[in-house]
A = this chain, B = another copy of it.
Amino acid sequence: MKTYINPNDLEIKEICTRPTEDLSQIKSVVESIFNEVQTNGDAAVSKYTHYFDKVDVTNSRISRTEIDAALTVTSIELKTALLKAKANIEKFHSSQVSADVELETSKGVYCQQISRPIETIGIYIPGGTAPLLSTVLMLAVPAQIAGVERIVMCTPPSKSGTVDPAILFAADLCGVTEIYKVGGVQAIAAMTFGTATIPKVMKVFGPGNQYVTAAKTLAQQYGLAIDMPAGPSELLVLADETCVPEFVAADLLSQAEHGKDSQVICITCSNEITESIQKAILDQVELLPRKEIAKLALNHARFIVIDDESNQLELINTYAPEHLILAIKNPRDFISGIKNAGSVFLGNYTPESAGDYASGTNHTLPTSGYSKSYSGVNMDAFVKKITVQEINKNGLLDLGSTIEVLAEAEQLIGHKNAVTIRLKSLENES
């Protein structure tokens, strides 16, 4: 835990530097798996499932029977929680649906912007020690609202060839069309090219390790769209004298437990507040099952004391955090100055974990400073906006010469002719 007092430009640069992931070493592995899946389809997928997941899966598609069985073994408590979280996510994302636009831009020229869902998407849910239920909600719920026809989900099987029942329950609840027990690079490759079993998708969403990230990057070269570039998760807390240091500590630890490369940043206005937060962290970290991971992340945590509010704001915007907690007196007054952040949490009773699971906002957010140019996943991510225009005869009589002049200036006489030939015909009509 390093502390900076009113950092200078060089220190600000240091604070804002993210770990750079060098994907070049794993790139060749990813490329060769892609080539094999492209050539050999399901056989290559099975081979890599055997190799990486240590299990032989004969039919990777999860059957209705398996899903129905999952419904019976998921606890009522978990089902209730999933339903409540889903309701909030549904409400918030439904409210984001953008209305079609229609207007007459000039006399007789009618323009529209309409939306269409992406027809087929892929959702990748990583495996590991715990089932990432919340990511299923965060990706499938808005896809379903958008009207995506086919929501394909891939997730790695356990060593016994199963998928956590709670994942199956969540996927079924949120309208996932089909679920495949396939993980890692082979899953992304399968959704990129399609196999006899797994369909080719148009856009792939979801988190993953470095291999999955590299696979998503490579998939783009084959025409697949992806949700956003991914890096280690981040939390920046801004706290003043009205914060509760124990709450801030708990929030920073919730970030630290994600992984050893998690980014934990805390800005306060005084040394005293920083010290109380640090003390609370040291007290609380010992109680965490994932304390070893959290401690590794805390090693490179940054505590910054900045007494001036405009300098605090500047650092936040320069850092451009994925998650931003404002544990300050009047957080709403502060929002107008925020230019770059993924998701913002206001006051003492809005922990980051509320947004991770259940407030209704999406938890798929831009890391590594990408919030300077990328939005988190929202309804826009599941649709394409198409424009439509219709010009009537009077409209073309009015606008035609404008188009002719501009086309001529660009020396595109074919473009000009497409107007001229119509104007001449209208002249002959009259």
Interface residues of A, Cβ cutoff 8 Å to B = 77-78, 80-82, 84-85, 87-88, 91-92, 95-96, 98, 101, 103, 105-106, 109, 111, 113-114, 116, 118-119, 129-134, 166, 202-203, 220, 223-225, 229, 244, 246-247, 250-251, 253-258, 284, 287-290, 294, 331-332, 335, 338-362, 366, 368-376, 378, 380, 383-393, 395-396, 399, 401-403, 405-407, 409-419, 421-422, 425
Q: How far is the CB of A417 from chain B (nearest CB, A)?
A: 5
Task: Tell me which residues across on chain B come within 8 A of A220, comparing CB atoms.
Answer: 229
Number of copies: 2
Known contacts A376-B385, A378-B113; is A85 also within 8 Å of B406 by CB?
Answer: yes
Indicate if the CB atoms of A347 and B406 lie closer than 8 Å: no
CB distance from A21 to the nearest CB of B (A): 11
Given A105-B91, A119-B372, A373-B118, A418 and B244 touching (CB < 8 A)? no
Q: How far is the CA of A405 from the CA of B223 in the complex (A)?
A: 39
Across-interface contacts of A376 in B (CB, < 8 A):
385-387
Q: List chain B residues, Cβ under 8 A from A131.
A: 409-410
- Set B88, B374, B405: member contacting A77, Cβ < 8 A: B405
Q: Kindly state the separation between the CA atoms of A225 and B341 in the bound complex, as whole angstroms.
A: 16
Given contacts A106-B87, A247-B418, contact A133 B357 (CB under 8 A): no
A390 x B422 contact (CB < 8 A):
no
Instruction: Please tell me which one of the listed residues B81, B361, B384 contacts residue A406 in the complex, with CB atoms under 8 A apart.
Output: B81
Q: CB-CB < 8 A to A357: which residues of B?
A: 402-403, 406-407, 415
- Report the separation of the CA atoms of residues A7 and B272 in the bound assembly, to the nearest whole angstrom: 76
Pick the contact of A134: B244, B258, B388, B410 (CB < 8 A). Answer: B410
Whether B353 and A418, one on each chain, are in contact in the complex, defined by CB atoms closer than 8 angstroms, is yes
Q: Decide: B133 and A415 in contact? CB cutoff 8 A.
A: no
Kindly state the separation between the CA atoms of A131 and B410 in the bound complex, as whole angstroms.
6
Q: What are the 4 A-B residue pairs with the smallest beta carbon separation, nearest first? A: A105-B360, A130-B411, A81-B405, A351-B418
Given known pairs A353-B403, A406-B81, the reply for A387 and B111 (CB within 8 Å) is: no
- Chain B residue numbers with a CB within 8 Å of A202 are 372-373
Cβ–Cβ contact A344 & B388, under 8 A? yes
- A359: chain B residues within 8 A (beta carbon): 105, 109, 111, 389, 391, 399
Q: How far is the CB of A380 from chain B (nearest CB, A)?
A: 5
CB nearest neighbor in B for A167? B409
Q: Please tell me if the beta carbons of B386 and A341 are within 8 angstroms of each other in the complex.
A: yes
Given contacts A406-B133, A410-B132, contact A360 B111 (CB under 8 A): yes
Query: In the complex the two chains form, is B225's CB within 8 Å of A373's CB?
Result: yes
Residue of B nearest to A401 (CB): B81
Of B256, B338, B366, B375, the residue contacting A414 (CB under 8 A) is: B256
